[in-house]
Amino acid sequence: MRFPLHDRLGPCLLTLLVLLLAAPVAFAQTQDDNILPVTEAYQLSADAGTPGVLKLHWTIAPDYYLYRGRMKFTGGAGVTLGAAQLPPGEKHDDPYLGPVETYHHGVDASIPYTVAAGTTRLQLSVQYQGCHEVEPKICYPPHTEHLDLPLPAASEAAAPPAGGKALGAALQQLGGNDSGGALTGTTSAPLPPEQAFRFTALARDPQHLLLRWTMPKDYYVYRDHIALKLKDADGLTLGTPAWPAGGVVHQDAQLGSVTVYFGDLELPVAIEGDTAGRRQVTLETSFLGCQDGGVCYPLITRDATVDLQSGAVANGVTVPGAPTAPSSSGAAPTDAAIAPAGPLQTSPIQTSLFAALLLALGGGLILNLMPCVLPVLSLKAVSLLESGENPARRRRHALAYTAGVLASFLALGLGILALRSAGHALGWGTQLQQPLLVAVLACVIFALGLSMSGVVQFGASLGNLGGTLANRGGAAGDFFTGVLAVVVASPCTAPFMGGALAYAFAAPAASALLVFLVLGVGLALPFLAIAYIPALARWLPKPGRWMETLKQVLAFPMYLTAAWLAWVLANQRGADAVGLLLVAMVLLALALWWFERSRGRGPRRHALTALLALAVLAPLYLLAQVPAATSAAAVQEGVLAYSPQKLAELRAANTPVFVDMTADWCITCKANEHAVLDGAAFRAALARNGAVYMKGDWTNEDPAITAFLQQYHSPGVPLYVVFPKGGGAGRQLPTVLTTAMVERALDEAAR
């Protein structure tokens, strides 16, 4: 008898153990039945001739197939791999694995990559798994091949020193070299200039402008090669820019000593002349920039129209005819693909700190009503009810909860500042792009639900988690509840929060932290009000036996929250990950049940509790190894998956486009879809105006979507942008949609 091996992660650890033990036997027996060696059944070839893209091809023998979901690609030293592009496979129900996609005969994969400076070889590991589908039916263990390929010529060229000869050569290009475009020689594919150097201009007041360059890590601009002038502004001139500190001095072989700015550059400039009665000005900005250790771009020229009265933000638009650097594929990006928004009706950046703080306070207050936060707030509500008529206890509960909320928001703010200083992308809720964190959060919520159902008691009150916390009189439990409220609030974007977060993500450190703290004050404000305003406290019902029933009823929203997180995990990593999460939850329930039964019965029983708790980590560890699932947004009927290239094609064809950036863990996104975007009125508006609905799924990390969000200064999802058919700037819609608002935007885009 042969034992088929499927290295898929089943819903039971015992099944997984049996399969692993059977693997050597199954594989050994295959050698006696004319089963091909794995490298002959699946012949892998690689083509690295295109810079920045590795092409793989499997030739699959007859009666064999490969699993699409079992392919995994890992970069070697100095190699960073992008998301692999694989065609859809043949769908069928596997008796062991459930719904799967497989390949027969052959399959091609395309993998974008970048290499660090000094890397001379393209090294990576390719893992795959397949089966023999006729007798004898066996499955191979996962097989890994290690590739070591020469880099294509464009990637092997010596990288010029940053700020040195590359700039001199770029200036020679501008002086008459006909080759055009950006220089080669980098070992990392350069970004298009509109992504490498994001330029915005705003008016602090009618006489003062603030110019901002935002650059990814390793990109910089030259201070002395920034030229500014006002266009068609008779009687107005620009004063001397107030160059900020923080410039880095380079010794350039062609230009001598030069100063460059990395990361963010904020440049105040005064307008000299009488601006009374003038609504707006148009600023022309020219600058030179480089990729550190890579290319230097030809002269970039941007025009920005700035509203002097409202202070609305204007994004720099590349001047037609100005030279642009090619993209990593070698083709110059089209204006339609990269055209940023002009002045928006609802600008996501506020120029006033006071306005941002008001938005933060309102957004934090409304966050209490969002469905992602309500289950955790039930914990806090019960603790307040348990305090009865004791004002001192109510205040202690509220203050400890507020401290947890503020500490969590402060930690979020510090983390965002650290990421920003390192040049990384920022986003509200992006921590839920990490499947392991989603699984851990689901387990925590599930454990709290078991506590409220009476399976285990963590102390004298619900907010008191753990024996140590119980000895602290409940304050630590209330603090933890505040921390948990902030964690589960991260997928939600309440009204007013978008503007506050966008300001915080771009503001100086002190202002950004203040915005995050005020968000926390807004979230904690209802409980502070009940604790310190006696008239509100009198509205609380009297404690009684009914409270035990209430606690048990409130456990079910906790279970629903855990179920929602499991659904998010299914969209991120598929059924395997959900199976492992369910195993972890069962083991956790067993550990908590035994903990309650062994209370006060000796160290031996507690040792078993510790072993059961450690067992929970095993499925979570395996879960972290599960590969990403296919995005669901790309297969919906009538919906195009977002790509910059496809958006460029549609805009070049004068087609109105409604772009929806969403994520499965974004509650606001799902609410908008249910209320507006899945409705017949929205579909009718698309058909009436000949518009295309394009959706970007940010459930998992996606650099293209991140770049689009940054282009519109969005702190995260949801983001809705309507592009008109005439090729003008996209119009950004608020985070909370109405049918009338969307229909009006589409009608205007089609005019």
Q: Pick from 484, 517, 528: which is nearest to 406 by CA?
A: 517
- How far apart (Å, rounded) are the C-alpha atoms in residues 394 and 532? 8
3-state SS, residue 397: helix
- How far apart (Å, rounded) are the C-alpha atoms in residues 463 and 470? 9
Name the token pair of 417: 């500042």
Q: What is the pLDDT of residue 555?
A: 79
Would the pLDDT of 112 be above 80?
Answer: yes
What does the pLDDT look like over 402-413, one tens digit per residue? 898 899 888 877
Distances (CA, A) of 1 to 4, 14, 18, 134, 140: 10, 20, 15, 15, 16
Beta bridge partners of 45: 57
Topology agreement, domain 13-155 and domain 165-333? yes
What does the pLDDT look like over 304-348, one tens digit per residue? 888 776 544 455 544 433 333 333 333 333 333 333 333 333 333
- Bridging pattern class, strands 219-222 and 256-262: antiparallel
Tell me the range of 69-78, 133-142, 308-317 where mean pLDDT is highest.
69-78
Would the pLDDT of 694 be above 90?
Answer: yes
| Strand-by-strand arrangement of the 130-132 sheet | 90-94, 98-103, 64-67, 130-132, 138-139
Q: What is the pLDDT of residue 185?
A: 37
With pLDDT > 70 as the criterion, what percentage of the chain qualifies? 70
Considering the four listed CATH numbers 2.60.40.1250, 2.30.110.10, 3.40.50.2020, 3.40.1350.10, the one that applies to the domain covering 13-155 is 2.60.40.1250
Q: Pick from 542, 356, 376, 540: which is nearest to 446 by CA?
A: 376
What does the pLDDT look like over 568-587, one tens digit per residue? 888 888 888 899 999 999 99
3-state SS, residue 448: helix
Q: What is the pLDDT of residue 308?
A: 78
Instruction: Report domain extents, the chain.
Output: 13-155, 165-333, 353-623, 633-749
- How far apart (Å, rounded) are the C-alpha atoms in residues 357 and 486? 18
Q: What is the pLDDT of residue 105?
A: 92
* Residue 660 pLDDT level (bands cut at 50, 70, 90): very high
How confident is the prediction for the chain on average, in pLDDT? Answer: 74
* Residue 666 pLDDT level (bands cut at 50, 70, 90): confident
Would the pLDDT of 677 be above 90?
Answer: yes
165-333 belongs to which CATH class?
Answer: mainly beta
Q: What is the pLDDT of residue 385?
A: 60
- How far apart (Å, rounded) are the C-alpha atoms in residues 252 and 257? 6
Which has more confidence, 347 or 686?
A: 686
Q: What is the pLDDT of residue 322?
A: 36
727 and 654 Cβ atoms separated by less than 8 Å: yes
Tell me yes or no: is domain 633-749 CATH 3.40.30.10.
yes
Would the pLDDT of 567 be above 60?
Answer: yes
Rounded to two decimals, what is the model's pTM? Answer: 0.42
* Residue 454 pLDDT level (bands cut at 50, 70, 90): confident
